[in-house]
Structure 1
Amino acid sequence: MSQCPFKNILDPDIYVGGGHHAIFAEVREQSDGLAYIEDPITGVPYWAVTKREVADYVCKHPLLFSSAAKTILPKEMPEEEVALSRLMLVNMDPPEHVKYRRIVRNAFTPKAVQGYEARFREVARETIDAIANTGECEFVTDVAAELPLIAILSLCGIPMEDKQQFFDWTNTMIFTEDEDMSGVDGVAASQAAAIEVYAYAAALAEKHKTEPLTDIVGALLDGTVNDEKLTADEFQLFFLMLIAAGNESTRSVIAHGMRLLIEHPEQLAKLVDDPTLIPYAVEEVLRYNPAFVQMRRTVMEDVEVQGQQLRAGDKMVLNWQAINHDPEIFENPAQFDVERFRNNPELANQHRAFGNGEHFCIGAHMSRLEMQVMFEEIIPRLKNPRFAAPVEYVRDYFVNSIKAMPLQFEPEAAARA
């Protein structure tokens, strides 16, 4: 039997050093965007999608490439866990997906999100105020995590005294491959944290009976699908998804954005000189390092794609980071260029950091606004930022996050003196 010519991009170890983009490029170039890769860790081979054209075809045919069959998580799970996870919005196929998405979509429309800007900016300023005169910070926890977590907790009516608890639960639930984040038995710890979040959701549902909630939680509890309200399990899983995805993903891209700017000081200087470039820089950060590395689909019937014969039941992963570096869409994709989207307006909406099709991220507008507001506060105030220690990456093939990034910069008071 011939050896698989491609590296296993579901090996969490390749993400620890932050050099996985080169591996993705190699897979894409050698496979024309659709590679059959063996996974000796799980024994389950998969098709890796690394080109935009192929990804868009998959996204536009959700019944042929299912999110529900095995969930969107690239890992292998027992069937009972898969069955429960199918109650989560991201793991639904049409027509259920559209019906459930409708319940909360009003909270995430561009108009609704714009109404959050004043509060977001207040939080961002308070976050920078807390560190500006110290000359140092641990950027992930002190800065990147603050606004995304506070924003989603506020929208769900959760008191700020529970913020640290939700931060810890999120890390434990998502980063099961990293012992520093989830402990030695990451799966068991993740399940325990999820149970805590379910219990918290159940308490909110009970409170809603006597003190009606008018936030997203209230919308979930009052919303109906086919004239029926969500079951307890459906509500709890919806709540868990909103909390986890609503804060960790944006935290990750804010942290990577700061990393990229420090690694490319000439790009940071452009933003210092011309802050109107910040929205374009946000798009480039999203393109360069989308929070979610890859998501799973399951092939539902035999089909030919890109000249390859796929079989019903085959596992597929859409590698968003590789797709966003497709040289047929983005010139010099490995180059980090904060002016890329200003100089090439036709590239608007061409990256896939938020997916595409039915499962386009419902929180995309909110994530963009949070990033823009944070960098508008960070860039003029944290002068001459630099790494105080090497960047530590999370060992994970699903969410490309940074574990720790200690920074030093000029204390604000000294800079003004």
Structure 2
Amino acid sequence: MQQCPFANLLNPDTYAQGMPYQALKDIRQQGPVVKMADPLTGVPYWAVVGQQELDFVSKNPSLFSSARRTAFPMEFPQDEVDFIHCHTIINMDPPRHQKVRRIVREAFTPKGVNSYAPAFRAHAKRILDSVVNRGECEFVEEVAAELPLVAILELLGVPIEDRKQFFDWTNTMMFADDPDMAISIEDGQIAAGECINYALKLAAQHRQHPMKNITGALLDGNVDGEPISEEDFAWMFILILVGGNESTRTVISHGMRLLMEHPDQLEYLVQHPEHIAAAIDEILRFNTAFIQMRRTATDDLELGGQQIRADDKIILHYHAVNHSEAVFGDDAMSFDVRRSERMPKLGQQLRSFGIGQHFCIGSHLARLELQVMFEEIIPRLRNPRLVGDIAYTRSYFVNGIKNMRISFDTST
């Protein structure tokens, strides 16, 4: 008998037709921590789908390591873990993690991010200007992808004329599981190499003409009195690029999908634009950009009533936790842009950006981009309708939409 793909949360086919909401609910009902098999890799894992348990794992890096087998849910050869993935901040444990994070954090302060708001607004208007009179567009690449990519490239010091190349590189790196997005794993490695070469060129430029941006902050920072190596910088450059681009594009795309599926709620925001900012929390809750991350247990312990052994694989399923009835009520699986009116602390209950040591350092940037984009999209793309089927990304890591063609009433 063929095994149901929903029995494995680490099978990309599980998400190829969109998020399996009901299947995730069925798993939650089995308990906050569920033992699962992965026939694709032969490595079993514990799926953490309870918020309290996810928070405990996230806040105790000494018990649940990001460095031992990386924070990514996929399997890598140990030499790749030790010599490549160790250079990215997401795969670091304390104390090195806090030291490197402190450098990156300086480039993402709320004050610094807010200074970009006027430029973001102007660019968002240009994005909508380019499609609004046509009455149709391919929403993902023409609308959702534009501002996140331009914003993160600007913060990294990449000229705007190179943005299409980076769009292609990040797609290839992130979606090597998807035959429509990349031909092979090797293509992803080649694209990563191209990004590294570009990053090293930027580093050389910074030495000649210092930049005041994320690239400059990283290259000028030091850990224990030593500057960050160019190799560390290059891999962190890739992580920031992908994290700042793909994630926000994904949330904008799913947010538009949800509003089209709930036209009454879209109309509410048309009539009450002052509530768009609050609605962003529900959009973030309902479809997280990164589906799940990994930790590796460092000792034997009990978690959620289950006996965990040292070196066990732990999967933090943010999407399942964000739909928890115990946290968000009996209607947790319903999309409701007015949820924050009933739950004033909704934003604090989300795990879309993680929690603890590895809470997303770019969360303020993402929220600003989302608010700006939806404040421009909602009043201008009137009565939007889906044209054809949505093409979802075949990935158990990024909850992406590859293609979503829509039509709408042209402005008068």
Q: Per the shorter chain, which TM-score range?
A: over 0.9
1:177 and 1:317 mapped to 2: Cα distance? Answer: 19
Identical residues among aligned pairs (%)? 51
Aligned to 2:244: 246
Question: How many Å separate the matches in 1 of 2:290 and 2:369?
Answer: 17
Other-structure match for 1:207: 205
Q: What is the deviation of 1:342?
A: 2.2
Query: 1:138 and 1:348 mapped to 2: Cα distance?
Result: 30
1:174 equivalent in structure 2: 174
Shift of 1:4: 11
Amino acid at match of 1:257: G
TM-score (norm 1): 0.96
- TM-fit CA distance, 1:156: 1.0
Partner residue of 2:397?
Answer: 398
Q: Secondary structure at the match of 1:182?
A: coil
Find 1:228's aligned residue among 226, 244, 248.
226
Whether the aligned pair in 1 keeps the contact of 2:391 and 2:402 (CA below 8 Å) is yes
Check whether the contact 2:5–2:11 (CA below 8 A) recurs between aligned residues: no
1:110 to partner: Cα distance: 1.4
What's the C-alpha RMSD, in Å, of the aligned pairs? 1.3
Q: What letter is aligned with 2:307?
A: Q
Secondary structure of 2:46's match?
Answer: strand
8 Å CA contact 1:4, 1:38 repeated in 2? no
1:261 to 259, 262, 279: 259
- Opposite residue 134 of structure 1, the aligned amino acid is R
Q: Work out whether 1:194 is the aligned partner of 2:189.
A: no
Deviation at 1:343, TM superposition (A): 2.3
> Any gaps of 5 or more consecutive residues in structure 1?
none
Q: How far apart in 1 are the matches of 2:345 and 2:392?
A: 33
| Mapped partners of 1:17, 1:197: distance in 2 | 30
Report Cα offsets for 1:298-357 as digits up to 9, x if no partner: 011101111211001100110000010111100111110001012221333111000000
CA contact (8 A) 2:34 2:47 kept: yes
**2:345 aligned counterpart, secondary structure:** helix
Q: Does the aligned pair in 2 maintain the 1:6–1:27 contact within 8 Å?
A: no
Q: Contact conserved, 2:133 with 2:410, CA < 8 A, in 1?
A: yes
Which deviations, in whole Å up to 9, do the C-alpha atoms of 1:173-231 show, x marking residues without a partner?
Answer: 11111011111x2x111110000000001111111221122211111111101010011
- Unaligned regions of 5+ residues in structure 2, if any? none
Q: Aligned ranges for residues 13-412 of structure 1 at < 5 Å? A: 13-30=13-30, 32-83=31-82, 84-183=84-183, 185=184, 187-331=185-329, 332-412=331-411
Contact 1:9 1:397 in 2 (8 A): yes
SS of structure 1 residue aligned to 2:371 = helix
Contact 2:281/2:346 (<8 A) preserved? no
Residue identity matched to 1:397: Y
Distance 1:161 1:316, change over 3 A: same
Secondary structure at the counterpart of residue 181 of structure 1: coil
1:264 and 1:378 mapped to 2: Cα distance? 15
**3-state SS of paired residue (2:349):** coil
Give the residue type in structure 1 aligned to 2:358: H
- Hey, what's the Cα distance between the residues in 2 that align with 1:104 and 1:252? 23
Counterpart of 2:394 in 1: which secondary structure?
coil
Query: Contact (CA 8 Å) 1:71, 1:297: kept in 2 or not?
Result: yes
TM-score (structure 2 length as normaliser): 0.97
Query: Structure 1 residue 5: deviation in Å?
Result: 12
Question: Quick one: distance in 2 between partners of 1:98 and 1:342?
Answer: 35
Distance apart, 1:396 and its partner CA: 0.2
Aligned CA distance change for structure 1 residues 26 and 130 (closer, same or farther; 3 Å): same
1: CA distance, partners of 2:226 / 2:335: 48
d(CA) in 2 for partners of 1:258, 1:388: 13
Task: Please tell me the residue identity of whatever aligns with 2:55.
Answer: D
Q: Cα–Cα, structure 1 residues 193 and 4, in superposed 2: closer, same or farther, change >3 Å? A: closer
